[in-house]
């Protein structure tokens, strides 16, 4: 786990194509972070089409499936739109850590990660 910003964050967007993982995020973050508002999208394009609203944290997976942009590209777009948000990139491929940081991510988690690692970044 690597990070460079801290502070309180409550409005969280999860962008990952794994629906079970997204559901676990919603349940877990709602339970462990009082007042957290968690939104999930299967890919960056779905988030863009849904109408962007202000959020404090984005957790962005790398591989979104054929035909969709990768997470590091999405992180670059999110950073351009919202320069002050906290972006966490995550992937099973530890070699993508630098790609996320170059795209503007503040932290990187390697899948699978312990839920406590995520909570520690968000508290």
Whether the predicted pLDDT of 36 surpasses 90: no
On whether the CB atoms of residues 74 and 94 are closer than 8 A, the answer is no
Predicted pLDDT of residue 13: 92
Higher pLDDT, 5 or 111: 111
Whether the predicted pLDDT of 110 surpasses 60: yes
* Domains of the chain listed by start with CATH number: 8-117 (3.40.50.2300)
Give ∠ CA 92-99-2 in degrees, rounded to 5: 65
CB-side exposure of 55: number of CA atoms within 13 Å?
25
What angle, rounded to 10 degrees, do the helices at 115-122 and 19-32 form? 50
Higher pLDDT, 109 or 67: 109
């Amino acid at each position: 786990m690597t990070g460079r910003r801290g502070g309180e964050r409550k409005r969280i967007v999860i962008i990952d194509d794994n629906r079970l993982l997204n559901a676990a995020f919603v349940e877990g973050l709602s339970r462990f972070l009082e007042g957290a508002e968690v939104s999930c999208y299967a890919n960056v394009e779905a988030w863009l089409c849904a109408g962007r609203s202000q959020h404090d944290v984005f957790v962005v997976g790398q591989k979104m499936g054929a035909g969709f942009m990768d997470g590091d590209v999405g992180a670059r777009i999110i950073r351009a739109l919202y320069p002050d948000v906290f972006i966490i990139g995550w992937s099973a491929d530890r070699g993508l850590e630098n790609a996320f940081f170059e795209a503007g991510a503040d932290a990187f988690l390697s899948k699978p990660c312990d839920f406590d690692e995520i909570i520690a970044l968000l508290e």
